[in-house]
Amino acid sequence: MWFVITNGPLKILKPNKAIDVTEGAPQMVQKQRSDWTSEDKKKENLNNVSKDILYKSLDKNTFSKIKICPTAKEIWEKLIQICEENEQTKENNLYVTMKNFENLKMKARETLSEFDERFSSVVNELAALGKENLAIEKWHSKR
């Protein structure tokens, strides 16, 4: 499956019997869909399975950025592009996330479970930025 993500969908090929091969490997041509075996069908479906796994691992915001990509490989390349941010973007994300953390208060009519979900989300964002210890220190200093 990783091969499909990094190299693109598998091509279902067969030896070209129209060309006589005297040395080396035979030349390969695309196999007709009507000639596919059940193994060929599984190989063809790997791109869809890979896309599904990638989709399920993304939040709504990121999903909206990659949903138009037709192959798992293109999704992966787009994710790399999205995640490889420059230093200025990382600093901005950290600043915004820290402000969200500092302003985190339980809302009126919010359940403890809902607040915990929001709290965990912000802490997870900080952890992704490598700053979860900073959040813990700030949280303890607030108390």
Tens of pLDDT, residues 86-118:
677 778 888 888 888 888 899 999 999 999 999
**Range 5-19 average pLDDT:** 84
- Give pLDDT, residue 114: 93
- More confident: 36 or 21: 36
As beta bridge partners, residue 14 has 29
Q: Is the pLDDT of residue 27 over 70?
A: yes
Statement to judge: residues 78 and 40 lie in one domain = yes
- More confident: 84 or 50: 50
Give 39-82 pLDDT, tens digit per residue. 989 988 899 999 999 999 888 888 988 999 999 999 999 988 88
What's the number of domains the chain is made of? 2
Whether pTM > 0.85 for this model: the answer is no
As beta bridge partners, residue 30 has 13
- Here the contacts of 31-37 (C-beta below 8 Å, separation 24 or greater) are 36/12
Statement to judge: residues 125 and 92 lie in one domain = yes
Statement to judge: residues 40 and 91 lie in one domain = no
Statement to judge: residues 79 and 10 lie in one domain = yes
Statement to judge: residues 65 and 100 lie in one domain = no
Statement to judge: residues 91 and 78 lie in one domain = no
Q: Are 68 and 93 in contact (CB under 8 A)?
A: no
- Predicted confidence band of residue 16 (pLDDT cuts 50, 70, 90): confident
Statement to judge: residues 70 and 19 lie in one domain = yes
Nearest to 5 by CA among 79, 60, 61: 79
Which of 83, 104, 130 finishes a domain? 83
Statement to judge: residues 96 and 64 lie in one domain = no
Statement to judge: residues 49 and 8 lie in one domain = yes
- Give pLDDT, residue 139: 62
- More confident: 139 or 49: 49
- More confident: 29 or 143: 29
